[in-house]
Amino acid sequence: MAAFDCVIRGGEVFVSQALVRCDIGIRDGRIVALGEHLDAGDEEIDASGRWVLPGGVDAHCHLDQPMSDGAVMADNFETGTRSAVCGGTTTVIPFACQFKGQSVWAAIEDYHQRASQQSYADYAFHLIVSDPTPTVLQDELPRAIAEGYTSFKIYMTYEDMKLNDRQILETLMVAKSAGAIVMVHAENADCIDWLTELLESAGHTTPEYHAKARPSAVEREATHRAITFSELVDVPILIVHVSGAEAIEQIDWARRRGLNIFAETCPQYVFLTSDHLHDPEGCGHKFICSPPPRDQANQKVVWNGLRTGTFQVFSSDHAPFNLDDPKGKALHGKNASFSKIPNGIPGLETRLPLLFSAGVTQGQLSLARFVNLTSTYPARLYGLFPQKGVIAIGADADFAIWDPHATWTIANADLHHAVDYTPYEGITVTGRVTETVIRGRVVQRDGRLLVEKGSGQFLRCHAPDFDLM
């Protein structure tokens, strides 16, 4: 019998925050040896000339999420996670969304059915809390947290989701007492509604007005308010999809005051600008997401935040809607006002290569920062570490094996999601994940799936680790 089920040999492996040349011995899906000249495995993977990094953890993506307006996401768990693993992501954390009037457990059960036997990647769930009734607060959430759903997202905007200030405070209290992390979508709903009405009544309905209806000030105000609630309740929070300088200023200010505020940003805030919404060929709806992409000056500030530690998490916020689909971006017709276009863009497969290329290859980010932002810190914050997010003895054998020198051009035709476009079409990147390994099994090689759907496992999350720095 061979010493290992699998040995990954000859690569440069990311261990203890740096690349070292060593072999990896895997048994029963976990890393059991790191060293030179390991004995043979039943299976051998030759990683020479390549970098072996922890598999990516995409901690913010929407898959098969029912929408209250009737829109239908293009990706389910099969197609979304197929795309994720082909981009080097081995764990996804999508959302089980509670609709108003629904119990949290009904939402959790629904999402288990959607994911069961479908996923290529391992997966956990965040909850979306849209109806914090006394039963939800006193009974359902504490029980859900105890059973491994230790993070939930709340919204300060979107009619069907938003909580008022009192509800936010009460939800934060539950997170504090039961040991969860709350992710906050920070945009001021009334300001957006008011601006939208003004713009639409003046006849301004094309996609570029989406950004004008959701300017930085509405994000700044809500970010500040969320920080204030976190301070009052004395519980850490994470601000999701931070788009630019004004929200960053609030987050940095809060940290200087000693508050434990975490922050996430996404590819759309460093690779897109609001100019993309202004498309003379009428394709601006491709780029409608909230908060909207800002301008180049804001992109620079977000890059700076990625480099210097404002951000702990870099997620895709994959929210996939087809363009020419009456259930997708064209839900209300191709010429509908910006306010009627489903929000969200795809990005599960392109998240890692985009950041690797513009960050690591081009010298804007250290490799350690890249790995922390895309794998280790999300695993820690969301209670999956050290099973996920690290290459260490005892951790799951989840790897993205990179050719750091491969140069390629992103084309939707080559991606593995079920969405009919990518907002990153035509961008040339250097660095490509050639193989993805989950619990010791090669799940994709050069874009070819080697396992059946359903090989991904559900993960229960532990308490968040707030001690990242």
Is there binding between residue 277 and ligand DUC (CB under 6 A)?
A: no
Which uninterrupted H or E stretch holds 72? none
CB nearer to ligand DUC: pick between 4 and 338: 338
Under the criterion CB under 6 A, does residue 127 sit at the interface with ligand DUC?
no
Position 243 contacts ligand DUC (CB under 6 A): no
3-state secondary structure of 373: helix
Amino acid at 171: T
What letter represents residue 342's amino acid?
P
Cβ neighbours around 208 below 10 Å, total:
18
90/56 Cα distance (integer angstroms) = 6
> If binding means CB under 5 A, how many residues of this protein chain bind Zn ion?
2
Identified binder of ligand DUC from the candidate list 343, 374, 387, 422, rule CB under 6 A: 343
CB of residue 184 to ligand DUC, shortest distance in Å? 11
125: its two tokens: 């769930």
- How many chain residues interact with ligand DUC (CB under 6 A)? 8
3-state class of 123 per DSSP?
strand
Residues β-bridged to residue 123: 92, 458
Using CB under 5 A as the binding rule, whether residue 439 contacts Zn ion is answered as: no
Neighbours of 173 (CB within 10 A): 16
Does the protein bind Zn ion through residue 317 (CB under 5 A)? yes
Interface characters, 283-312, with ligand DUC (x: CB under 6 A): ------xx----------------------
For residue 26, give every residue at least 6 positions away whose Cβ sits within 8 Å of its Cβ, in sequence order, or none.
4, 5, 6, 7, 8, 32, 41, 397, 440
Of 395, 386, 401, whose CA–CA distance to 442 is shortest? 401
Phi and psi of 293, rounded to 5°?
-60, 145
Q: Decide if residue 351 touches Zn ion (CB under 5 A).
A: no
Residue with Cβ nearer Zn ion (132 or 404): 132
Omega within 30 of 0 (cis) for the link into 291: yes
Residue 350, contacted partner among ligand DUC, Zn ion, none, CB below 5-8 A by kind: none
Return the DSSP state at 412: G
Q: Which of 320, 344, 353, 383 binds ligand DUC (CB under 6 A)?
A: 344
Which of 9, 126, 162, 185: binder of Zn ion (CB under 5 A)?
A: 185
* Residue with Cβ nearer Zn ion (82 or 153): 153
Tally the C-alpha atoms within 13 A of residue 10's C-alpha that lie toward its C-beta.
8
289 binds, among ligand DUC, Zn ion, none (CB under 5 to 8 A by kind): ligand DUC
> Which residue lies nearer to Zn ion by CB, 23 or 317?
317
Q: Which is nearer to ligand DUC, 82 or 241 (CB)?
A: 241
Which residue of 126, 162, 185, 388 would you call a contact of ligand DUC, by CB under 6 A? 185
For Zn ion, give the closer residue by CB, 317 or 396.
317
CB closer to ligand DUC, 208 vs 317: 317
Among 62, 214, 388, 417, binds ligand DUC (CB under 6 A): 62
Strands 428-438 and 441-445: antiparallel
Residues found near ligand DUC in the complex (CB under 6 A): 62, 185, 289-290, 317, 319, 343-344
